[in-house]
Amino acid sequence: MEIYDTHAHFDEDRAKTEATLARAHSAGVTRLMAVGGSPELNRAAILAQSLAPDATRLALGADRDQVGGARTNEELASAVRTLHAAHACAAVGEIGLDFHYSPETKDAQCDLFARQLALADELALPVVIHTRDADDSTLGVLDEIQWHHDAPRGIIHCFTGNPSFARQLLDHNFFISISGIVTFRAADNVRESALVVPDDRLLMETDSPFLAPVPMRGNENEPAFITHTVRFLATLRNVQAEDLAARTFANAVSLLG
């Protein structure tokens, strides 16, 4: 069973990253995307990609928690542009909106999000989007910034919304990525949403080192743990785990390479 983890974060510890990548490969994770979102996460993603260039794709960006710091949104977006000029990336990300923890920065988050959506359109790269408690604003900014390409626009990563929001994002030409949250006891909305995503728009991820799936709760998450999520989601969707892994792998390759 070959699995594609479309969203993994790393740190800048070379030995730890090497060991994490080795365990992932042993578990059947033959391809993954190392995702940035801050200066530290971007550097760590670049390191991971350099350690396993054939198996690792790269996404670099400035996430919503970067607003309000020492750099302006213009400077943050400019730094992301510079990174993409220096590195071969599969996507722009992680970017997006989160009003659950930081509603006071709503306007600044939307501005930074829009700047990077425009950059992705310019570079003809898909985006990796985080959205939490920001459904209307996410859709609003997506409608504001045009996408001039026939290819899917990107990934809604670690989806936590309801089926209605999932359908709206599918209509906006996105893939929906399911994380280990789908295994959590209180995640009925995620399970319901996972059932409305068609086979050709479904992706899998860990969002490691966060959100370890059942039965690995309490551990630092890592790409090797995605096997638990694949098996759980396969049972939920009433398919074989090998078939789900193959379908989501092909979907990810079509978008990210």
> Which among 210, 214, 207 has a CA at the least distance from the CA of 231?
214
CATH number at residue 168: 3.20.20.140
* CA dihedral for 85, 90, 92, 93, sign (positive or negative): negative
Given this model, what pLDDT does residue 232 score?
98
What span, in angstroms and rounded, lies between the C-alpha atoms of 169 and 238?
24
Which letter does DSSP use for residue 65 in this model? Answer: G
Given this model, what pLDDT does residue 196 score?
97
What span, in angstroms and rounded, lies between the C-alpha atoms of 110 and 216?
35
DSSP for 66-126?
GTTSSS-HHHHHHHHHHHHHHS--SEEEEEEEETTT-GGGHHHHHHHHHHHHHHHHHHT--
Contact call for residues 94 and 36 (beta carbons, < 8 A):
yes
Domain that holds residue 61: 3-256
Structure tokens at 99: 């009003």
Total domain count for the chain? 1
Check whether 95 has a pLDDT greater than 90.
yes
Tell me the per-residue pLDDT of 218-248, one tens digit each, with 9 for 90 and over: 999 999 999 999 999 999 999 999 999 999 9
What span, in angstroms and rounded, lies between the C-alpha atoms of 124 and 249?
22
Strands 127-132 and 91-98: parallel
Given this model, what pLDDT does residue 151 score?
95
